[in-house]
């Protein structure tokens, strides 16, 4: 079978998308006039940020020793938030290209994904990328990879996605080293690894066929969803959709289902035929939300649009979860689950761009288990529901096992950062390239409190991070409420460590003093916990000169006007509410 299914895995910004571009060019999959950078990154957000968010499968043809081979590539994201996308891709392929930046070396996320590839017994082709970079350490990285993979130096390929050097060797190695798909069941079995949505055609499922074949007009079934449908269209991706009459065993392609109901298609489900159903394939884990935040429309009139928009995003992003909730002050909205801070920012930005929604986003939080004094156990996703009345007997929170790889000169700063974020530092290890790997455990709450950004900052971008959840542990945390004009703002409420509550309170009121627009009356910004105010700032009122139109005359006239203005401001303060711009909420969330 002249088919090779493979994926590209690496740390963020190690050149995956650029290498994919050169492969598409060299195989003639995309005409030169239609070529653009990061061609598999379909969203504007991806090109702006220079990262892959939504993976895009693509089929290429490559001639090798007189035979034409079909190469199916699934490009994957490299940010730690999107590791679930990588696991989807790896379940659908037989081999991977392990890409390592010649200027950076092996990083934490690389090792994390490599362990997944090894568990799946995939063929690994090591590649040193960016060999044209002025500060490239090609031979050092080659030696590092030979030690890591226990392979010879000749097994390690060298390439530059920018210049195209070595890309033909990679395509040849894919044919030579990655095995062809094995023959599966006699019946039809296809693994769903992603899906999209079209207004006219419904859910479009991306899948890999492990047994049998699928043709247009077949009556098919999604096993886990117990949903039957007729294949309206089948085809391959190059990278745009190319309809065909039939998809064969071993191929990667798409099926148009016509399903227009959210929640039917799910990643890891098995597609089979209605007439002769086959058992489900071994699916992979459903992505679990790591952080939660409430999202409210600025105008309650937009609530139906927000609901429809989340349904649409859920159709193409199975890691997004949400449920409707109501707040006395904010009105109705949705409690949403995300994989991390970057995932949250991307979803909110997509809601604003693609659906023109003005949104209010609350401070994100992780999940907590609260045992009350009466023995009742409650799972809490929202700071607003967190007990602040002394009824909590025990509080438990999620912890993560963290692995940080850093150059030795930053070891002290990284260790201090871990301690600052309540980390329990464990083993340290010197890697073959001289870098140090630090193992630690820390609350997920602290990991999400800007840890990744601070790690990059103190290490000049050289340190890298991977993590996995390790269960619930006892927590000493309290709820911090923020009051603006003496009214609590639920969107700013957060759960913080008791030992840091004073520091967090001061930082929050100072940040809001700078972010909130000036009002016509003096604005009081306060932080409160356990019923007492622990930090306060006042933002001076906007001053309007009410005497500007007077020319000379009695001074008492000016005094009367100023006194009238003062009384007016007091009335405004007594009954006034403060309009908080939506961008302030997102800035507070982003800066944590």
378, 368 in Cβ contact below 8 A?
Answer: no
3-class state of residue 487 by DSSP: strand
**Exposure b/e, 226-235, CB count within 10 A at least 16 = b:** ebebebebbb
Give the pair of three-digit tokens for residue 175: 């044919």
Find where tokens 């007594």 sit.
Answer: 574
d(CA 251, CA 591): 44
Count of alpha carbons within 13 angstroms of residue 417, beta-carbon side: 23
Give the pair of three-digit tokens for residue 314: 């859920």
Q: Does 260 count as an annotated binding residue?
A: no
283, 222 in Cβ contact below 8 A?
Answer: no
Q: Does 321 count as an annotated binding residue?
A: no
> Which residues are 484's β-sheet partners?
487, 525
Q: Does 346 count as an annotated binding residue?
A: no
- Residue 119 burial (CB count, 10 A): 9
d(CA 304, CA 5): 42
Give the pair of three-digit tokens for residue 90: 């790896």
3-class state of residue 318 by DSSP: coil
Find where tokens 């945390």 sit.
Answer: 477
Q: How far is CA 462 from CA 81, 314, 517, in A?
A: 18, 34, 38
271, 255 in Cβ contact below 8 A?
Answer: yes
**Exposure b/e, 45-83, CB count within 10 A at least 16 = b:** bbeebebbbbbbbbbbebeeeeeebbbbbbbbbbbbbbb
Q: Does 371 count as an annotated binding residue?
A: no
Give the pair of three-digit tokens for residue 428: 């340290």
126, 138 in Cβ contact below 8 A?
Answer: no
Q: Does 13 count as an annotated binding residue?
A: yes
d(CA 299, CA 336): 18
Give the pair of three-digit tokens for residue 328: 């006395």
194, 236 in Cβ contact below 8 A?
Answer: no
Q: What does DSSP assign to residue 365?
A: B
d(CA 356, CA 587): 18
d(CA 197, CA 200): 9
Q: Does 132 count as an annotated binding residue?
A: yes
Find where tokens 């990991």 sit.
Answer: 447
d(CA 312, CA 347): 11
Which backbone phi and psi does 164 adopt, to 5 degrees? 90, -5
322, 124 in Cβ contact below 8 A?
Answer: no
- Residue 498 burial (CB count, 10 A): 12
Q: How far is CA 57 from CA 141, 173, 215, 382, in A?
A: 29, 20, 19, 37
Count of alpha carbons within 13 angstroms of residue 129, beta-carbon side: 25
Give the pair of three-digit tokens for residue 272: 């089979």
401, 437 in Cβ contact below 8 A?
Answer: no
d(CA 500, CA 196): 43
Q: Does 18 count as an annotated binding residue?
A: yes
Q: Does 459 count as an annotated binding residue?
A: no
Q: Which residues line the annotated binding site for GTP? A: 13-18, 129-132
Annotated binding site: 13-18, 129-132
């Amino acid at each position: 079978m002249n088919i090779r299914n493979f994926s590209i895995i690496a740390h963020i910004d190690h050149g995956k998308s650029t290498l994919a571009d050169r492969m598409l060019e060299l195989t003639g999959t995309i005409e030169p006039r239609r070529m653009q950078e990061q061609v598999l990154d379909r969203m504007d957000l991806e090109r702006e940020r220079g990262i892959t968010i939504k993976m895009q499968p693509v089929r290429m043809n490559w001639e090798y020793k007189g035979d034409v081979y079909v190469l199916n590539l699934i490009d994957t994201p490299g940010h730690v938030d999107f590791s679930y996308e990588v696991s989807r891709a790896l379940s659908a392929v037989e081999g991977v290209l392990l890409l390592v930046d010649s200027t950076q070396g092996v990083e934490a996320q690389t090792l994390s994904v490599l362990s997944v590839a090894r568990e799946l017994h995939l063929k690994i082709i090591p590649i040193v990328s960016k060999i044209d970079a002025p500060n490239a350490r090609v031979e050092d990285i080659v030696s590092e990879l030979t030690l890591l993979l226990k392979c010879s130096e000749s097994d390690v390929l060298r390439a530059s996605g920018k210049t195209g050097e070595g890309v033909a060797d990679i395509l040849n190695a894919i044919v030579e080293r990655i095995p062809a798909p094995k023959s599966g069941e006699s019946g039809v079995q296809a693994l769903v690894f992603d899906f999209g949505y079209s207004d006219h055609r419904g859910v479009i499922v991306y899948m890999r066929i492990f047994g049998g074949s699928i043709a247009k007009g077949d009556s098919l079934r999604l096993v886990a969803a117990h949903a039957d449908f007729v294949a309206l269209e089948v085809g391959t991706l190059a990278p745009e959709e190319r309809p065909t009459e039939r998809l064969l065993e071993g191929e990667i392609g798409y099926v148009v289902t016509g399903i227009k109901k959210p929640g039917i298609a799910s990643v890891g489900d098995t597609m089979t035929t209605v007439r002769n159903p086959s058992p489900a394939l071994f699916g992979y884990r459903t992505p679990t939300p790591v952080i939660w935040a409430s999202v409210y429309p600025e105008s309650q009139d937009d609530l139906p649009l927000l609901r429809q928009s989340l349904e649409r995003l859920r159709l193409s992003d199975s890691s997004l979860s949400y449920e409707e909730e109501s707040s006395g002050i904010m009105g109705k909205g949705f409690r949403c689950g995300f994989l991390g801070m970057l995932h949250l920012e991307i979803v909110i930005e997509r809601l604003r761009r693609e659906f023109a929604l003005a949104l209010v986003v609350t401070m994100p939080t992780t999940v907590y288990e609260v045992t009350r004094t009466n023995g009742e156990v409650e799972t809490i996703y929202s700071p607003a529901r967190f007990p602040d009345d002394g009824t909590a007997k025990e509080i438990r929170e999620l912890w993560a096992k963290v692995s940080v790889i850093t150059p030795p000169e930053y070891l002290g700063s990284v260790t201090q950062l871990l301690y600052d974020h309540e980390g329990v530092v464990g083993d340290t290890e010197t890697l073959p390239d001289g870098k140090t790997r630090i193992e630690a455990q820390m609350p997920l709450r602290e990991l999400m409190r800007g840890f990744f950004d601070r790690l990059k900052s103190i290490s000049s971008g050289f340190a890298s991070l991977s993590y996995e959840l390790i269960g619930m542990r006892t927590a000493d945390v309290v709820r911090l409420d923020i009051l603006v004009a003496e009214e609590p703002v639920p969107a700013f409420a957060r759960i913080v460590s008791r030992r840091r509550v004073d520091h967090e309170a001061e930082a929050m009121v100072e940040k809001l003093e700078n972010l909130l627009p000036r009002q016509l009356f003096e604005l009081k910004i306060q932080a409160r916990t356990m019923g007492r105010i622990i930090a306060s700032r006042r933002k001076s009122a906007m001053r309007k000169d009410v005497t500007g139109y007077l020319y000379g005359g009695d001074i008492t006239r000016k005094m009367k006007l100023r006194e009238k203005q003062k009384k007016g401001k007091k009335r405004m303060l007594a009954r006034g509410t403060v309009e908080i711009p939506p961008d302030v909420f997102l800035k507070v969330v982003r800066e944590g």
